[in-house]
């Protein structure tokens, strides 16, 4: 499956790519690069592939998920490499018949877990923030209920997503106006996501964890 994923990435047309800087309070704790591309899967299916790499220094940790999402924003496949000196592993996920099955491959262990995935579903991670893009895309003026799967943490959460419209905020200390999406529920309680006029991810804030994630301007 890994060769298939990287083969897909080789020919896909990039829609967006960038770098996020992750801060806890004022300290920079990680950088995350991501690449979003349109894709075709299987027998003519269309959708997107999001490849992200988040690098943390203390402790040293590199998280590299590649997520396939269908045209109706459902996750269809996941390849997730966790480069952790303490516990390296690979996570392989696939959606089929209302269940998302995740396989965890460690140095000496292998296990699987099934998550019910009926209705709107997204795949998230506590330390990879580009994944919030697919959740924000589904926001409407009225709250939308979406199931959030966090395979690495073994969680399944019910989240409420709402589009608050365009409003003022700060991005890299500069005042801007961006589309504001709120995500409530789950372990984080509240996540604020901001998108630009082209629905590109610009900022994520998680107040309960004192985290602020901002897109760096192009170099």
Q: How confident is the model at residue 23 (pLDDT cuts 50, 70, 90)?
A: very high
Q: What is the mean pLDDT of the chain?
A: 91
Provide mean pLDDT across the span 84-97.
92
Angle at alpha carbon of residue 38, lines to 176 and 215, rounded to 5°: 25
Given a cut of 70, whether residue 99 has pLDDT beyond it is yes
C-alpha–C-alpha distance, residues 130 and 6, integer Å: 19
Which residue(s) pair with 121 in the sheet? Answer: 147
Q: Which residues span the domain enclosing 120?
A: 2-215
Residue from 209, 201, 83, 179 nearest 131 by CA: 201
Number of domains in the chain: 1
Residues 99 and 113 sit within 8 Å (Cβ to Cβ): no
Q: How confident is the model at residue 5 (pLDDT cuts 50, 70, 90)?
A: very low
Share of the chain above pLDDT 90, in %: 79
Unique residue bearing structure tokens 């005042």? 175
The predicted-structure confidence for 167-207, as pLDDT tens digits, reads as follows 999 999 999 999 999 999 999 999 999 999 999 999 999 99
Q: How confident is the model at residue 13 (pLDDT cuts 50, 70, 90)?
A: low
Which uninterrupted H or E stretch holds 4? helix 2-11
Q: How confident is the model at residue 101 (pLDDT cuts 50, 70, 90)?
A: very high
Residue from 68, 67, 124, 65 nearest 89 by CA: 65
Given a cut of 60, whether residue 41 has pLDDT beyond it is yes
C-alpha–C-alpha distance, residues 69 and 120, integer Å: 12
Structure pTM?
A: 0.91
Residue from 84, 105, 85, 83 nearest 93 by CA: 105
The predicted-structure confidence for 121-161, as pLDDT tens digits, reads as follows 999 999 999 999 999 999 999 999 999 999 999 999 999 99
Given a cut of 50, whether residue 11 has pLDDT beyond it is no
Given a cut of 90, whether residue 55 has pLDDT beyond it is yes
């Amino acid at each position: 499956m890994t060769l298939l994923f990287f083969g897909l990435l080789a020919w896909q047309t990039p829609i967006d790519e960038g770098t996020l800087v992750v801060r806890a309070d004022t300290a920079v704790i990680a950088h995350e690069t991501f690449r979003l591309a349109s894709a075709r899967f299987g027998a003519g299916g269309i959708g997107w592939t999001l490849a992200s790499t988040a690098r943390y220094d203390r402790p040293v940790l590199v998280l590299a998920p590649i997520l396939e999402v269908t045209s109706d924003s459902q996750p269809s496949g996941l390849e997730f490499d966790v480069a952790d000196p303490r516990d390296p592993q690979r996570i392989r996920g696939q959606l089929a018949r209302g269940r998302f099955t995740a396989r965890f491959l460690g140095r000496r262990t292998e296990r699987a877990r099934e998550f019910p995935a009926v209705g709107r579903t997204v795949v998230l991670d506590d330390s990879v923030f580009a994944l919030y893009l697919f959740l924000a895309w589904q926001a409407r003026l009225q709250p939308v209920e979406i199931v959030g799967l966090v395979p690495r943490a073994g969680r399944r959460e019910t989240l409420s997503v709402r589009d608050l419209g365009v409003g003022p905020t700060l991005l890299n200390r500069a005042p801007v106006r961006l589309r504001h999406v709120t995500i409530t529920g789950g372990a984080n309680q509240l996540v604020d996501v901001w998108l630009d006029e082209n629905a590109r991810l610009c900022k994520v804030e998680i107040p309960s964890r004192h985290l602020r994630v901002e897109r760096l301007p192009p170099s």
